[in-house]
A and B are shown apart, each in its own frame.
Chain A
Amino acid sequence: MESINAKYVSQKISKTKWRPVSHSDLQLPEIFATGSWDNEDNRISIWSIGSNLSTGMEDGFEGDPQLLCEHKHDGDVLDLQFLDQDRIVTASSTGAVTIFRHHQNSQTISVSQLWARAHRYPCDNAPCTGVVCSSPEIVTVGEDGRIVVFRADQEGVVRVIENADSSTIHAVTYLRTTEILTVNSIGQLKLWDFRQQSNSPSQILSLSGDRVPLHCVDRHPNQQHIVATGGQDGMLCVWDVRQGNTPFSLMEAHTAEMWEVHFHPTNPDHLFTCSEDGSLLHWETSSHSDMPSFLQGGRNSSMVSRSAMAPAGGKQPLISAWLSGDSSKGRLETTHMLPSQTLSVNSLDVLGPCLVCGTDGEAIFVNRQVPV
């Protein structure tokens, strides 16, 4: 925890994302982008954490993020993704979707493409709340309950799913190349299959009982049926989308809204969540099976498991572990990653051993030695 540095940046950070590292896995992430919110003039900024030193060296001030360039952004930055090494897509509270291009030679940013009214009500704009991309395809969701598909370099809209949701869609993620998952403010996960022509979801999953708004969703990098969500009540839910339509396990993670949840892209036994309560948690399983323990549904001190589903297939040990009633074969460990309570942690991203997060306290924290 000593290796985490805070940098105060005079803007509330709503989103932060590492630029993807190209080629070999040995390269450590160096560049990240941030988006601000709640300012009269919001901006997107690109930062560098300098040349990468081997993990043996003392970090000190060498990890201090340096601002490379920034650009004005109309409206709050509600989501931000790297389309590729040079281009960033943002979702704005004005309902616009913008592609910014980062010119590495001159260290400047320019607007490459803009869809000004991607999300709208009949007589007003609606905030665009989420964006995912798989170059050149861009999928956005908004408060208007619509799902819009764009292609970079194409001016018009490729496809629209009108009335996808009667409530706000808060986040979207790819499940497979042709399937996406959305979460909304009435606590539902919806699966959409783009191969189908119909405008209705192929599957709907939700928590029974209270309809708590879900704010974030992420898919397990290797096992695409495992999905994690976080919502307004700070609960972390893990779902198996092939089986049933209720979450597999629920964990009391935070004392306030959970804003983001991320599986580690290469070590998916590690999960990260951040919240309005000012904390960033690192969840680590140490089970010996390849099934993370939160899928084993065992009884841990940090878990409040509430599901019991009939086994669909006999192969996985997970259900039998749950049903046989013995204590979980794995352990689930949670660590706080920030040295002390801060204002709301709005966003986090993790790549390799590096973690970056942004807070409402106008600070960016970078940790270059995350134990994964």
Chain B
Amino acid sequence: MEEVDVEPTITNIPAISDGKHMGFAWGPGDILVYETRYKASGASGSGCSFIHEIRKDEDIYSPILRKLFNESHHIFVGLQTIREDLPSKSKKPQFVSISKNYRSVIRACMEELQQVAGNTFENMLLLVSILLAIELIWNLCEVLFIDAAPAGSLLLHLLDWVRLHKADVDEKAREVLQSESPAEHRDYWDVVVSYVLQGRLEEVRQMLVKQANLQPAARSMYKQMDTLLSKMPFYNPGGTQTLTEFDVKWRHWHEEVDRCLQDNSFASNRHLELICKILLGDEDTLLDHKELLGTWYHFLVTRLLFCHPTVKLTELHYYAQSCMTMFLDSRSVPEPLDNILLAAFEFDIHQYCFHCEHVPIPSNGNKPFCPLNVCVMGSVVCLCVYLCFRFLQDYCAKGTFSDLDLIDNLGPAMLLSDRLTFLGKYREFHKLYGEKRFREAAKLLLSLMTAKIAPQSFWMTLLTDALPLLEQKEVIFTADQTYELMFCLEELTSSLNITASSTDRPMQEEDVEVTKVELLRLALARNLAQAIVKEGTVEI
């Protein structure tokens, strides 16, 4: 991980006169400082008999933060000890539950902080807002990386994510409903529209009833809207309906809403017409309500909800960038949090971590909150690397990759760790092979070993992968490449010999290994012969 460049904080020692040189000594939790006689120029000055002790402020939040640190540590240590022998599919629920556990720890910390009032209100706000951001990001990561929901469920998770982090709607709603005549409250329509934007259509219907009661003349129009709202299909992951069936149903509903709009069914009531347009996912209408949406990622999720509810993980990044661009003014610059979230949506783990670490930490003189962020983000990287390791192991065991789409879309994240690079490149090899681009596949395979990208434990698998390429009718590996493969094989077998044939390895296993090596040697020798002949042949 890159080092974080944060400017060191400067503390002035008022009692030491300007220009004097200070001497210092470190203590267990503090530093002792004293004025020396040294002067840059001129005669040495008079000394001073005082020693100053400098220590950090008594941090009133530290008991709360300590709990956060200790609980997080415990959770991550527990993560390391997840049982190795379970298949990765059954580990996913464990990862999800660990992630949820971690989020609830962050939430508990935030709530405690909010209860601590005091003079240092600004500090607390700062801390709480950072924790809120962390929780928001982590929640998104849970949805995208850990849960990695398929199309259909993905939108539901994103919808939950947005709803969880936009609690002000409920506050406003409470205020409106507690008033004497809710339907005439000035925030009434704001609440209704906010509910629509969050896809909380039940609440919308309940609110609209109040309005309908006030306008008996428009009853039929309200009834029509109510019907439309009640018929909006929501995907049920646990149900029997397939994604395709859901998609068909949704399109029918979408067309019906469109018909209502074209028919001017709601023309006489601008509010209902507005709701209708939102239900159709009309971009301009959505953008008209930026204050209610609040953030570009809310805009993203709402747009997806009403335009493309069957969105897949891999399609997210198309929408994410465009939504952010549309939402933010041409004048405003994306904030660090925006960049982090965007990177997450784009599966750009590398960028994501980069941004996390370069969040300019607002320091009000003596409280850098850096370590908190870094250690949390660091854990995301660890999680990713760990997951990657699991993928590789799975492949060795089953012969196929699970969750291919995730690996296919690593993007620049590949550079983050050797393991990830290898995984990405290996997958590329398989793709090339599948497309019958054998020469390129062969070159890539060889480079995985010679550039030491692949862990040596994996070399046997790679060499075995090379066999079909060696057995082809036409010569694929050149003579030079064949020499290199032979060298790799020798390196591998000699290192295996060093670890000695221990007596507890069953005879059969050894036989298989020996046979494999023999086959490889034979194939390599044959290929070498053919290659030499081919390369030495001159066309007359």
Shortest distance between the CB of A278 and any CB in chain B (Å): 9
Interface: B77 (CB within 8 A): yes
In the bound complex, residues from chain A placing their C-beta under 8 Å from that of B66 are: 8, 10, 362
When the two chains form their complex, are residues B29 and A362 in contact, meaning their CB atoms are under 8 A apart?
no
Closest to B108 in A: A8
Closest to B69 in A: A362
When the two chains form their complex, are residues A10 and B77 in contact, meaning their CB atoms are under 8 A apart?
no
Closest to B70 in A: A362
**Residue from the list A340, A341, A363 in contact with B70, Cβ < 8 A:** A363
Interface: A155 (CB within 8 A): no
Interface: B453 (CB within 8 A): no
Given the known interface contacts A10-B63, A10-B67, the answer about A361 and B81 at a Cβ–Cβ threshold of 8 Å is: no
Could you give, for residues 348-363 of chain A, a 1 whenever the CB lies within 8 Å of some chain B CB and a 0 otherwise? 0000000000000111
Interface: B239 (CB within 8 A): no
Alpha-carbon distance between A341 and B79 when the two chains are bound, in angstroms: 11
Interface: B64 (CB within 8 A): yes
Interface: A305 (CB within 8 A): no
Alpha-carbon distance between A65 and B283 when the two chains are bound, in angstroms: 53
Could you give, for residues 38-59 of chain A, a 1 whenever the CB lies within 8 Å of some chain B CB and a 0 otherwise? 0010000000000000000000
Interface: B71 (CB within 8 A): yes
Residues 45-90 of B contacting A (Cβ, < 8 Å) = 62-64, 66-67, 70-71, 73-74, 77-78, 81
Alpha-carbon distance between A10 and B77 when the two chains are bound, in angstroms: 18
Alpha-carbon distance between A363 and B71 when the two chains are bound, in angstroms: 9
Alpha-carbon distance between A87 and B537 when the two chains are bound, in angstroms: 99
Interface: A245 (CB within 8 A): no
Alpha-carbon distance between A341 and B66 when the two chains are bound, in angstroms: 19
**Residue from the list A8, A341, A343 in contact with B67, Cβ < 8 A:** A8
Interface: A113 (CB within 8 A): no
When the two chains form their complex, are residues B63 and A340 in contact, meaning their CB atoms are under 8 A apart?
no
Shortest distance between the CB of B82 and any CB in chain A (Å): 10
Interface: A342 (CB within 8 A): yes
In the bound complex, residues from chain B placing their C-beta under 8 Å from that of A362 are: 66-67, 70
When the two chains form their complex, are residues A340 and B78 in contact, meaning their CB atoms are under 8 A apart?
yes
When the two chains form their complex, are residues A341 and B77 in contact, meaning their CB atoms are under 8 A apart?
yes
When the two chains form their complex, are residues A340 and B74 in contact, meaning their CB atoms are under 8 A apart?
yes
When the two chains form their complex, are residues A342 and B67 in contact, meaning their CB atoms are under 8 A apart?
no
Alpha-carbon distance between A210 and B70 when the two chains are bound, in angstroms: 36
**Residue from the list A9, A10, A40, A342 in contact with B74, Cβ < 8 A:** A342
When the two chains form their complex, are residues A361 and B29 in contact, meaning their CB atoms are under 8 A apart?
no
Shortest distance between the CB of B447 and any CB in chain A (Å): 40
Alpha-carbon distance between A362 and B64 when the two chains are bound, in angstroms: 12
In the bound complex, residues from chain B placing their C-beta under 8 Å from that of A9 are: 67
In the bound complex, residues from chain A placing their C-beta under 8 Å from that of B29 are: 40
**Residue from the list B62, B67, B71, B81 in contact with A340, Cβ < 8 A:** B81
Alpha-carbon distance between A9 and B64 when the two chains are bound, in angstroms: 9
Alpha-carbon distance between A371 and B70 when the two chains are bound, in angstroms: 29
Alpha-carbon distance between A53 and B78 when the two chains are bound, in angstroms: 30
Q: Give how many B residues have a beta carbon under 8 Å from the other chain's beta carbons.
A: 13
When the two chains form their complex, are residues A341 and B73 in contact, meaning their CB atoms are under 8 A apart?
no
Alpha-carbon distance between A8 and B67 when the two chains are bound, in angstroms: 6
Closest to B80 in A: A341
Alpha-carbon distance between A8 and B70 when the two chains are bound, in angstroms: 8
In the bound complex, residues from chain B placing their C-beta under 8 Å from that of A342 are: 74, 77
In the bound complex, residues from chain B placing their C-beta under 8 Å from that of A363 are: 70-71, 74
Alpha-carbon distance between A6 and B75 when the two chains are bound, in angstroms: 12
Alpha-carbon distance between A40 and B73 when the two chains are bound, in angstroms: 22
Could you give, for residues 304-327 of chain B, a 1 whenever the CB lies within 8 Å of some chain A CB and a 0 otherwise? 000000000000000000000000
When the two chains form their complex, are residues B63 and A361 in contact, meaning their CB atoms are under 8 A apart?
no
Shortest distance between the CB of B115 and any CB in chain A (Å): 15
Closest to B28 in A: A40
Alpha-carbon distance between A23 and B167 when the two chains are bound, in angstroms: 52
**Residue from the list A6, A10, A40, A343 in contact with B64, Cβ < 8 A:** A10
Given the known interface contacts A10-B63, A10-B64, A40-B29, the answer about A361 and B70 at a Cβ–Cβ threshold of 8 Å is: yes
Alpha-carbon distance between A62 and B73 when the two chains are bound, in angstroms: 25
Shortest distance between the CB of A132 and any CB in chain B (Å): 31
When the two chains form their complex, are residues A361 and B73 in contact, meaning their CB atoms are under 8 A apart?
yes
Shortest distance between the CB of B32 and any CB in chain A (Å): 16
In the bound complex, residues from chain B placing their C-beta under 8 Å from that of A8 are: 66-67, 70-71
Residues 105-164 of A contacting B (Cβ, < 8 Å) = none
When the two chains form their complex, are residues B77 and A340 in contact, meaning their CB atoms are under 8 A apart?
yes
Closest to A278 in B: B77
Alpha-carbon distance between A40 and B81 when the two chains are bound, in angstroms: 33
Closest to A40 in B: B29
- B62, B67, B70, B71 — most chain A CB neighbours (10 Å): B70
Closest to A361 in B: B70
Could you give, for residues 164-207 of chain A, a 1 whenever the CB lies within 8 Å of some chain B CB and a 0 otherwise? 00000000000000000000000000000000000000000000
Given the known interface contacts A340-B81, A341-B81, the answer about A361 and B74 at a Cβ–Cβ threshold of 8 Å is: yes
Closest to A342 in B: B74
Alpha-carbon distance between A6 and B29 when the two chains are bound, in angstroms: 29
Alpha-carbon distance between A226 and B248 when the two chains are bound, in angstroms: 78
Alpha-carbon distance between A341 and B67 when the two chains are bound, in angstroms: 17
Residues 328-372 of A contacting B (Cβ, < 8 Å) = 340-343, 361-363
Alpha-carbon distance between A340 and B76 when the two chains are bound, in angstroms: 11
Could you give, for residues 72-113 of chain B, a 1 whenever the CB lies within 8 Å of some chain A CB and a 0 otherwise? 011001100100000000000000000000000000000000
Alpha-carbon distance between A6 and B78 when the two chains are bound, in angstroms: 14
Shortest distance between the CB of A282 and any CB in chain B (Å): 20
Alpha-carbon distance between A343 and B73 when the two chains are bound, in angstroms: 10
Alpha-carbon distance between A9 and B73 when the two chains are bound, in angstroms: 14
Could you give, for residues 171-187 of chain B, a 1 whenever the CB lies within 8 Å of some chain A CB and a 0 otherwise? 00000000000000000
Alpha-carbon distance between A10 and B62 when the two chains are bound, in angstroms: 8
Alpha-carbon distance between A289 and B64 when the two chains are bound, in angstroms: 51
Residues 5-37 of A contacting B (Cβ, < 8 Å) = 6, 8-10
Alpha-carbon distance between A6 and B73 when the two chains are bound, in angstroms: 13
Alpha-carbon distance between A9 and B112 when the two chains are bound, in angstroms: 13
Alpha-carbon distance between A6 and B62 when the two chains are bound, in angstroms: 19
Could you give, for residues 14-52 of chain B, a 1 whenever the CB lies within 8 Å of some chain A CB and a 0 otherwise? 000000000000000100000000000000000000000
Alpha-carbon distance between A10 and B29 when the two chains are bound, in angstroms: 18
In the bound complex, residues from chain B placing their C-beta under 8 Å from that of A340 are: 74, 77-78, 81
In the bound complex, residues from chain A placing their C-beta under 8 Å from that of B70 are: 8, 10, 361-363
Alpha-carbon distance between A9 and B68 when the two chains are bound, in angstroms: 10
Shortest distance between the CB of B117 and any CB in chain A (Å): 19
Shortest distance between the CB of A276 and any CB in chain B (Å): 15
In the bound complex, residues from chain B placing their C-beta under 8 Å from that of A361 are: 70, 73-74
In the bound complex, residues from chain A placing their C-beta under 8 Å from that of B74 are: 6, 340, 342, 361, 363
Closest to B105 in A: A8
Alpha-carbon distance between A131 and B74 when the two chains are bound, in angstroms: 32
Alpha-carbon distance between A341 and B82 when the two chains are bound, in angstroms: 12
Shortest distance between the CB of B138 and any CB in chain A (Å): 19
Shortest distance between the CB of B100 and any CB in chain A (Å): 16
Alpha-carbon distance between A362 and B62 when the two chains are bound, in angstroms: 13
Alpha-carbon distance between A9 and B71 when the two chains are bound, in angstroms: 10
Shortest distance between the CB of A65 and any CB in chain B (Å): 14
Q: List 13 A-B contacts (CB under 8 A).
A: A8-B71, A9-B67, A10-B62, A10-B63, A10-B64, A10-B67, A10-B70, A340-B74, A340-B77, A340-B81, A341-B77, A362-B70, A363-B74
Since A10-B63, A341-B77, A343-B73 are in contact, a sample of 13 more A-B pairs with Cβ atoms closer than 8 Å, ordered by chain A residue number, is: A8-B66, A8-B67, A10-B62, A10-B66, A10-B70, A40-B29, A340-B74, A340-B77, A340-B78, A361-B70, A361-B74, A362-B66, A362-B70
- Give the top 4 A-B pairs by smallest Cβ distance, nearest first: A10-B63, A8-B67, A10-B66, A362-B70
Q: Which residues of B contact A (CB under 8 A)?
A: 29, 62-64, 66-67, 70-71, 73-74, 77-78, 81
